[in-house]
A = this chain, B = another copy of it.
């Protein structure tokens, strides 16, 4: 891999991408919030103490994606050109999926991962008055396209 970037003393750096080509890029990431069936019922019915959980989490995830380079120290800033977040409620869980796009020199997998993470944390915040033992799990990248390493998908 790109181990040429390692510095002799191991010091952290924002890797130089000045000479990489600008291309259209896309990444999809997922996360899962595990809770209880009765909490899923409240969530889907919009009856949680803090209100309409899915709408709030969707906004939080999109706004979070735009803050990625401010949160992740060595991440390059990228101008996002599109973002969607969807939720698939199951019996005792919600599966989140975010797709993020840019036209830039680096991939957007960190932005997609940040989107689902912040959205999942927001769902956690919305339900924590009724479930203090929820778990966020399976945060990973499902597909990526547009970079030199080639397109790939786990699906």
Contacts and interface: CB of A to CB of B under 8 A. Distances in A.
Interface of A: 1-7, 10-19, 24, 46-52, 55-56, 58-60, 62-64, 66-67, 69-86, 101-105, 109-110, 113-114, 117-118, 120-122, 124-126, 128-130, 132-141, 144, 149, 152, 154
A119 to B, nearest CB: 10
Chain A to chain B: the 4 pairs with minimum beta-carbon distance, closest first: A16-B82, A12-B51, A10-B46, A55-B55
Contact of A74 (B2, B120, B125, B140): B125
B12 A58 contact: yes
Given A76-B81, A128-B109, A137-B139, A10 B71 contact: no
